[in-house]
Structure 1
Amino acid sequence: MKAVVKTRPEPGFVEIKEVPIPKIKPDEVLVKIHATGVCGTDILLADWKYVGRSPVNPPIILGHEGAGEIVEVGANVKHVKIGDRVGMEALLGCGHCHYCRQGNINLCPDWDHLGIDFDGTYAEYIAFPAIGVHVLPDNISYEEAAFLEPISIVVHALESNPITAGDTVAVVGPGPLGLFSIQAAKAAGAGKIIVVGTSVDEKRLQIAKGLGADIVLNNGDSHAAETVKELTNGLGADVVIEAGGTGTSIEQAIAMAKGAGEVYLMGFGKESTIKPLTQVVRQNLTIKGVVGSLPRHYETANRWLENGVVKIDKMVTHTLGFNDALKAFELMKNKEAGKVLFKAEL
């Protein structure tokens, strides 16, 4: 089968290779991949800049956003069957630690991450633990279901910090997580949605407008917080969704929040510090990190897609085959795409 493989632990060395179809274990299913999305994590892995919980050990098949059809089930699998159309969770907990036993597998210190700890979705077939698959409603396409993972993270964020009808919501970072957040905020009844990007985000900001953003700003690298305050009569946003993942975007997100407002951080700004600490205290802000998602969040993401709460048609700007993997990575890296989708049959 064809697969996109990170072959060596250094920048580059992503190859399209022919590899054997995997053999499944008794608790696994074999899924024929139909569609899979490109994430920023895949680009970091390709450039060998990813810093995760545990070392990545090439060779490994990349990809963790995918959907397909079950073509084989292991001997111990009872809850799904051959022919089921499914999406897949990205994080799988150890099952026995303190956090897993509480149901918080996203906090498991020994989780396995699809496409990082074991072979991912950039392949024609994948062997995957059956406990982590979600059967798709009939009206969800494989292309839509390929994005269950990023949508589930937005579900997690809004579960933690629900938006009240009429709220002013600022979304910092118009990447895929930000674009899904716009749609979710709109569906939740946000009164005004302000999206903040930088000078290189023009294409994505235009997509944001098409998805329901009321105001888009490209000054996230300078005076975005001041502009948001001006647009809200000096108050700031009730809810700020930080999806940029840089030190600047995190600092700006905190600075643009209203007193007693809520800020949730979805981006991994590893180099950042909370500089406006007095802002957090004096403004009585609630700041919450959002990492990964849980099985229930995937189920809700399924319903969001089923009922049209979020849509992918305006977000997916490029559909390519695995042979064009390097082109796909460049499109995302240069922010020339809203979202890139791989279709295995292309």
Structure 2
Amino acid sequence: MKAVVKTRPEPGFVEVMDVPIPQIKPDEVLVKIHASGVCGTDILLADWRYTGRRPVNPPIILGHEGSGEIVEVGANVKHLKVGDRVGMEALIGCGHCHFCKKGYMNLCPNWNHLGIDFDGTFAEYIAFPAVGIHVLPNSITYDEAAFLEPISIVAHALENNPITVGDTVAIVGPGPLGLFSIQAARAAGAARIIVVGTSSDQKRLEIAKELGADYCLSNGDTDAFQTVKELTNGIGADVILEAGGTGRSIEQAIAMASGLGQVFLMGFGTESTINPLTQIVRQDLTVKGVVGSRPIHYETVNRWLENKTIRLDHMVTHTFGFDEAHKAFELLKCKEAGKVLFKTDL
């Protein structure tokens, strides 16, 4: 089968190659991949700049956003069948630790991450643990289901209804997480949505506007927080969804919050130091980290997609076959794409 493989532990060395179709274990299913989304983490792995919980050990098939059809079922799997249309979770907990037993697999200290710890979705077939499979409603397409994983992170951030009808919501970082957040925030009742990017984010800010953002700012690398204050008559944003993952974007997110504001840190980049600690105290802010997601969030996303709360219109700007993996990666690096999709029928 064809697959996109990180072959060596150094920058570059991502190759499209033929590899054997995997053999499944008794608790796994074999999924024929139909669609797979490209994430910023895949770019970091390709450039060998990814810093995770533990070392990545190439060779490994990249990709952790995917959908497909079950073509084989392991001997111990009773709740799934051949022909099921499915999406896959990215994080598989150990199932035995304190957090897994409480249902918080995203906090498992020994999780395995799809496309990082075991072979991912940039392949024609994948062997996948049945415990992390979600059967798709009939109305959801494979293309839509390829994005269950990134949208589930937004569902995680919003699970306790932090947005009150009429709120101003600021979204820092117009990458895929930020763009999905626009639609979810509007559905949750936001009256005004401000999206903050940098001077290199013009294409993505255009997409943000098409998705319903009221204001799109390109000064996130300088003083966007001041502009947000001006747009809100000096008050600031009620809820901030930070999806940039840089020290600067985190500082901006906190600085633009109103008193009693809520800041959700979804971005996952290099380690950062939060400088405006006095701002958190004096403004009585709530700052919450959002890491990964849990099975319930995938089911939430299934409902969002089913009732068109979140749509892919304007989001998917480029579609490729695996043979064009390098072109897809370069488009994302230069921020000329919204969301990039691999399809196995191309």
TM-score range for the pair, normalised by the shorter chain length: over 0.9
Render the CA deviation track for 1:272-314: whole Å, top value 9, x for unaligned. 2111111000000000000000000000011100000101121
Asked if the contact 1:246–1:269 (Cα under 8 Å) also holds between the matched residues in 2, the reply is: yes
| Residue aligning to 1:330 | 330
| Residue aligning to 1:46 | 46
3-state SS in 2 of match to 1:11: coil
| Residue aligning to 1:188 | 188
Q: Which amino acid aligns with 2:125?
A: Y
Displacement of 1:160: 4.2
The 2-side partners of 1:271 and 1:151 are apart by 23
Displacement of 1:333: 1.0
Render the CA deviation track for 1:79-130: whole Å, top value 9, x for unaligned. 1100000000000000001111111110000000000000000000000001
| Residue aligning to 1:228 | 228
Displacement of 1:344: 1.0
Displacement of 1:269: 3.9
Asked if the contact 1:250–1:269 (Cα under 8 Å) also holds between the matched residues in 2, the reply is: no
- Poorly superposed stretches of 4+, deviation over 3 Å: none
| Residue aligning to 1:207 | 207
| Residue aligning to 2:293 | 293
| Residue aligning to 2:128 | 128
The 2-side partners of 1:314 and 1:269 are apart by 25
| Residue aligning to 2:316 | 316
3-state SS in 1 of match to 2:158: helix
Displacement of 1:161: 5.2
The 1-side partners of 2:295 and 2:258 are apart by 32
The answer to which of 153-162 and 231-240 deviates more is 153-162
Structure 2 unaligned regions, length at least 5: none
Asked if the contact 2:64–2:120 (Cα under 8 Å) also holds between the matched residues in 1, the reply is: yes
Render the CA deviation track for 1:180-199: whole Å, top value 9, x for unaligned. 00000011110100000000
The 2-side partners of 1:164 and 1:212 are apart by 18
Displacement of 1:268: 1.9
Identical aligned pairs, as a percentage? 79
Aligned alpha-carbon RMSD (Å): 0.7
Q: Which amino acid aligns with 2:282?
A: R
Structure 1 unaligned regions, length at least 5: none
Q: Which amino acid aligns with 1:254?
A: I
3-state SS in 1 of match to 2:319: strand
| Residue aligning to 2:115 | 115
Q: Which amino acid aligns with 1:8?
A: R
Pairing of 1:86-105 with structure 2 (within 5 A): 86-105=86-105
| Residue aligning to 1:343 | 343
| Residue aligning to 1:165 | 165
Q: Which amino acid aligns with 1:246?
A: T
Residue 151 (structure 2) pairs with residue 151 (structure 1):
yes
Give the TM-score normalised by structure 1: 0.99
